[in-house]
Amino acid sequence: MIKYILIFYTAISVAGANIEGWNVQMNGGTLKERGKALVYLKGDLKLIKKRVPTDALPYLQSVRVVLGVPSNKGWAKYDNKVGEIQFKSVIAFVNGRHWYPDVLLHEMSHVYHAKAWEFDLKALTGPFKRHKARYEKMGRDALKLKPVPKNTLFLNYASSNEYEFFAEMSTVLFGVHRAWEQMDAETEMAIYSMWSEKKKAARQPINAREARLLLRSGRKLLLDK
């Protein structure tokens, strides 16, 4: 029975199925691999929908998720020109997703940055510099990691540039699978306001009291969802 359900789902996904409001396509891969990929995709997309602010969803759902793009030199990427989140192969997605459960949210964060902010870096430059300095000085103590997974590779990756900083800190903030216990308040405010405010409004400088209020209401919104 399970086998037939898998055949049904995988047949749909080849043509480009609608999963949780996203257009998803799979090219290649065995039946088993595609079945596993589909379970991950459905779970991850459902969770992303639940956790990110509702206003951000139309941006995220405007791109396709394609598993099986052999021309993709890396493992996973967001291609803004074609509007696709691409994985090299179905099995690469399955294995990598197991290793890095937040990968879809990470790539979706790049989508949001591109679509809602046209890759604007102004609001990120200061927080990124502070994060980098904190990380260089404090190492893994720059953020308290949850016990699983223990490695600091992600924290290090967030120090590469503003784009990866935004994507990694967004995964921390929305905590789909791998959240840190504590983020410094300025970073949290900067990332959260980019996800919740309109581009123009978020550019305006705000004072410390306003930042605290914004954070408090943001946390409440997240909890209410």
Residues in contact with Zn ion by the rule CB under 5 A: 164, 167
Nearby residues of 92 by Cβ (< 8 Å), 6 or more positions away:
75, 76
Q: How many CB atoms lie within 10 A of CB 141?
A: 12
- Nearer to Zn ion among residue 28 and residue 96 (C-beta): 96
DSSP 131-147: HHHHHHHHGGGGSEEPS
- Closer to Zn ion by CB, 18 or 161: give it: 161
In the bound state with Zn ion, the residue whose beta carbon lies nearer, of 13 and 171, is 171
Alpha carbons 114 and 153: distance in angstroms, whole number: 24
* Residue 13, both tokens: 């996904």
Q: Give the shortest CB-79-to-Zn ion separation in angstroms.
A: 12
For residues 151 and 38, give the distance between their C-alpha atoms in angstroms, rounded to a whole number: 27
**Sequence letter at residue 136:** E
Closest residue to Zn ion: CB criterion: 167
* CB closer to Zn ion out of 56 and 111: 111
Measured from the CB of residue 135, what is the shortest distance to Zn ion in angstroms? Answer: 17
We find the least distance from the C-beta atom of residue 73 to Zn ion, in angstroms, to be: 14
Q: How far is the CB of 110 from Zn ion (least distance, A)?
A: 6
